[in-house]
Amino acid sequence: MRYILLIFALFLGACSVKNYEHTSAKIFIIQSPKLKFADLGYLRHSDESLELELFVAGRVIEKITLNHLVCTSEGCMSKSSFNEDYLSAYYPDDILQNILLGNPIYEGKSRVQTQEGFEQSIQTHDVQIMYKVYFHGIEFKDKKNKIIIKIKNTQE
């Protein structure tokens, strides 16, 4: 019985309130099979966790929390399950976190340094990705899976 309570407490702790060290307002455009959004959002993160809060007309419409699980309004799931449901099953588990933070994806494969940041072009049988990180924002486009994520800084 104690083990069941411990597992239950750990599962609930994945979606609990976190203290974030960094908070920034950004303009998000997200187009995927299950999520379509274009408006203001807040990105909060610390070393252990990341939270994306999406707003429309001043109201929160979705909150996505990433740590060892991904929690949405529909509940918590593994990162691979989240990718399968919201993005693409072909993506590595950490892709959303890396995109939101402007980190290289696919372990830096095909990374080219630019004056304002970097670009990656990744083409396989399953994906056709163009990923750009620059001073004013981030652009991720996967033509094969019809997924677009654009993040623009509100302060320029």
Q: What is the pLDDT of residues 44-101, one digit of tens each?
A: 988 888 999 988 877 888 899 999 999 998 899 999 999 999 999 999 999 999 999 9
Total domain count for the chain?
1
pLDDT of amino acid 20: 57
Q: Tell me whether residue 93 is in a domain.
A: yes
Residue 141 lies in a domain: yes
Is position 72 within any domain?
yes
Count CA atoms closer than 13 A to 2's CA, side-chain side.
0
Least confident of 6-10, 37-41, 100-104: 6-10
Q: Report yes or no on 12 lying in a domain.
A: no
Q: How far apart are CA 122 and CA 128, in angstroms?
A: 6
In the predicted model, is pLDDT for residue 34 greater than 90?
no
| pLDDT value, residue 2 | 47
3-state secondary structure 48-103: CCEEEEEEECCEEEEEEEECCCEEECCEEECHHHHHHHHCCCCCCCCHHHHHHHCC
**CA-to-CA distance for 60 and 79, rounded, in angstroms?**
22
What domain range is 99 assigned to?
18-153
pLDDT for position 8: 45
CB 21 within 8 Å of CB 37: no
- Please say if the pLDDT value at position 5 is more than 60: no
Q: Is residue 23 a part of any domain in this protein?
A: yes
- Residue 47: inside a domain: yes
pLDDT at 1: 53
Q: How far apart are CA 13 and CA 81, in angstroms?
A: 19
pLDDT band with cut points at 50, 70 and 90 for residue 9: very low
Kindly state whether residue 63 falls inside one of the protein's structural domains: yes
Greatest C-alpha distance within the chain: 58
Give pLDDT tens digits for 114-147: 999 999 999 999 999 999 999 999 999 999 999 9
Give domain status of residue 146, yes or no. Answer: yes
Residue 15 pLDDT exceeds 70: no
What does the pLDDT read at residue 60? Answer: 86
